Amino acid sequence: MNVEKRSAFEPPAVLVERETPPPQMRRPIATSFGAVLVVLRVLAGVVWLVALAVQWDHVLTEDLDIELEPGTDLAAASDVILAVVLVVGAIILLAELALALLVYRGSNWARITVMVFATLSISGAAIDYFSGDAEITLRTTLITLSLDILVLLALSSHNARAYARRPRSRPVVE
Amino acid sequence: MGEPGADASEPPQPRRFSINAALDGFFFVYAGIAAVWLAWLVLSETLSFGWFGIAFFVVFWLVLAYLVLPRLHRILTAIYVPDYFIGRARTSDGLLGDPVNLALDGDEASVHAAMLTAAWTRADDVTAASSWRIITSTITRRSYDEAPVSPLFLFGRQQDFAYQQEVEGNPARRHHVRFWRTPDGWLLPGGRRVDWLAAGTFDRAVGFSLFTLQVTHKIDADIDVERDHIVSTVLGANPDARVVILRDFSTGYHSRNGGGDSVRTDGDLPVLDLSDVREVGEVRDAAIEESDESYESDAAPERVRVIPGVKTA
């Protein structure tokens, strides 16, 4: 029988100890919810890209102060730039969608990756907000910021962590 | 853990320190702080939308009660609540939950047989379907007598199963008791071996939790009544059940559970011995009737043994 005395307080080291969750674990709600939120984030990205494409000329003239005359090299270049932005954006969104699927299936590296990007995005918004440059309201970036924070909350929860780090019967490269 | 000199055929011991776990810890805390900010942003939106702001206020409450406060409690309780057995279960947020006020001996089949014979209903596990059904039955006031109970944690584990008795077909009021199997070789403070620990309380209404502001069941403060109700129904329905009462197992105390409801107890711990209960007998619905007499005077004397607390001069 193994009955040991324990110290009266929990040392901080236990917080970074390895956990061994039970191998048989159903997918927790936090994991499914996190994956759904990432998909919503992708949809928000699609809306943003479409809006950018529709208002491209407006964005150039109003926000960037570039005057376009039809038929010039500048106009042709702007179309190329728009196409590049759209393609790159689409690739990023597809990658995000793949990450959502991986998170849903319990991949730990996908969960960490999503959380790293959510953290960077939140930190960027926070720096803008607290340095007084940007106002965050429903009309501007509140929706995407909320999605980022909710993703981070869901995927960093103990259940989601345990599910992503559960022991597998077959070895999985993490 | 981490015994050196383990058999060479066993897999190598994992490192004690894990970068992954440290990263997780960082994200856990960072998400908590971000959630506080989100709650603040939503609250400031409330002020700019007039009547529509009421909807934002509801969203603010949802964010605060179900995201921010649980996360903050989880971070803080990891620091200040001891993680060894102190006679209390813990909520999923790490707060002190219902007191452990019952112990049992016997295998799992015996416990199920004894509870079912005593007209208790096993609670469903928490799933999306059962959660939805508990919401609809609460709104429509329909009976749901296998309603799941919220998870409470002991030995770092959610309860293994739970039993309940609905009162008057009202989902807001019910007797309920959660069971945890004790780890192998684990002894109660004082040195007695028991197979199961249980926490029984009576849900008297639905209300708001004091600590997280979530909607939750409020429990009756006098948890000894519920403890004695469980013991007397089990003894009344199962002739093969016996009980040993450890007097003053915990010091009589009053305190609060995880929802902020006060609880008080005399500190006695009944240990039900169900090892001779073999199969589900005739279900005694009569057992639900409250009896004024305590089982200590009611049941046959050879089935109740009392071990008094020892006073020293």
Could you tell me if B105 and B197 lie in one domain? yes
Could you tell me if B42 and B188 lie in one domain? no
Query: Is A8 part of a structural domain of the chain?
Result: no
Task: Please give the pLDDT value at position B169.
Answer: 73
Determine, for residues B30 and A16 on separate chains, whether the beta-carbon distance falls below 8 Å.
Answer: no
Query: A70 or B256, which is more confident?
Result: B256
- pLDDT tens for A94-104 read 999 999 999 99
β-partners of residue B242 are: B273
Could you tell me if B111 and B177 lie in one domain? yes
What average pLDDT score do residues A23-43 get?
87
Question: How far apart are the CA of A101 and the nearest CA of chain B, in angstroms?
Answer: 20
Q: Report chain A residues whose CB lies below 8 A from the CB of B20.
A: 108, 112, 165
Task: Please give the pLDDT value at position A58.
Answer: 78
Query: Is B10 part of a structural domain of the chain?
Result: no
What is the overall mean pLDDT for chain A?
80
The DSSP code for B196 is: E
- pLDDT tens for B235-284 read 988 888 999 999 888 876 678 888 888 888 888 999 999 988 887 777 76
Could you tell me if B127 and B244 lie in one domain? yes
Whether pLDDT at A119 is above 80: yes
Task: Please give the pLDDT value at position A11.
Answer: 57
pLDDT band of residue A114 (cuts 50, 70, 90) is very high
What average pLDDT score do residues A48-68 get?
78
Determine, for residues B37 and A149 on separate chains, whether the beta-carbon distance falls below 8 Å.
Answer: yes
Residues 57-96 of A with CB under 8 A from B: none
Could you tell me if B67 and B144 lie in one domain? no
Query: Is B148 part of a structural domain of the chain?
Result: yes
Listed as own residue / partner, the contacts of B43-46 with beta carbons closer than 8 Å and 24 or more positions apart are B45/A137, B45/A138, B45/A142
Determine, for residues A17 and B20 on separate chains, whether the beta-carbon distance falls below 8 Å.
Answer: no
Q: Which residue of B38, B130, B182, B187 to mutate against A (max A Cβ within 10 Å)?
A: B38
Domain boundary pick from B30, B51, B80 = B80
User: pLDDT under 70 in chain B at which residues?
Assistant: 1-16, 252-253, 284-294, 296-301, 310-313
Inform me whether the C-beta atom of residue B15 falls under 8 Å from chain A C-beta atoms. yes
Q: Which of B21, B32, B41 sits opposite A16 (nearest CB)?
A: B21
Could you tell me if B95 and B74 lie in one domain? no
Could you tell me if B139 and B65 lie in one domain? no
Question: How far apart are the CA of A77 and the nearest CA of chain B, in angstroms?
Answer: 40
Could you tell me if B31 and B73 lie in one domain? yes
Task: Please give the pLDDT value at position A156.
Answer: 92
β-partners of residue B203 are: B174, B219
Task: Report how far Cα B53 is from the mean position of its chain's Cα atoms.
Answer: 37
**Closest Cα to residue A151, out of A103, A106, A109?**
A103
Residue B100 has a CB neighbour count (10 Å cut-off) of 23
Could you tell me if B76 and B93 lie in one domain? no
Query: Is A68 part of a structural domain of the chain?
Result: no
Query: Is A116 part of a structural domain of the chain?
Result: yes
Q: Which residue of A157, A158, A159, A166 to mutate against B (max B Cβ within 10 Å)?
A: A157
Q: Which of B14, B27, B67 sits opposite A119 (nearest CB)?
A: B27
Query: Is A174 part of a structural domain of the chain?
Result: no
Determine, for residues B71 and A2 on separate chains, whether the beta-carbon distance falls below 8 Å.
Answer: no
What average pLDDT score do residues A16-34 get?
75
CA B308, CA A92: separation in Å to the nearest integer?
70
| β-pair type (B269-273, B102-105) | parallel
The residue to which tokens 């971070």 are assigned: B75
Task: Please give the pLDDT value at position A19.
Answer: 59
Task: Please give the pLDDT value at position B8.
Answer: 44
Question: How far apart are the CA of A117 and the nearest CA of chain B, in angstroms?
Answer: 11
Task: Please give the pLDDT value at position B53.
Answer: 76
Half-sphere exposure of B178 (CA within 13 A, CB side): 25
Could you tell me if B29 and B177 lie in one domain? no
Query: Residue A94 is part of which domain span?
Result: 29-60+73-164
Domain boundary pick from B46, B61, B80 = B80
Query: Residue B43 is part of which domain span?
Result: 19-80
Residue A20 has a CB neighbour count (10 Å cut-off) of 12
- Residues belonging to chain B: 313
Could you tell me if B249 and B290 lie in one domain? yes
Count: domains in chain A: 1
**Closest Cα to residue B149, out of B141, B158, B157, B140?**
B158
The residue to which tokens 């529709």 are assigned: A54
Could you tell me if B288 and B143 lie in one domain? yes
| β-pair type (B215-219, B242-246) | unpaired
Q: Report chain A residues whose CB lies below 8 A from the CB of B74.
A: 158
Domain boundary pick from B80, B104, B122 = B80
Query: Is A12 part of a structural domain of the chain?
Result: no
Count: domains in chain B: 2
Task: Please give the pLDDT value at position B111.
Answer: 94
Task: Please give the pLDDT value at position B3.
Answer: 42
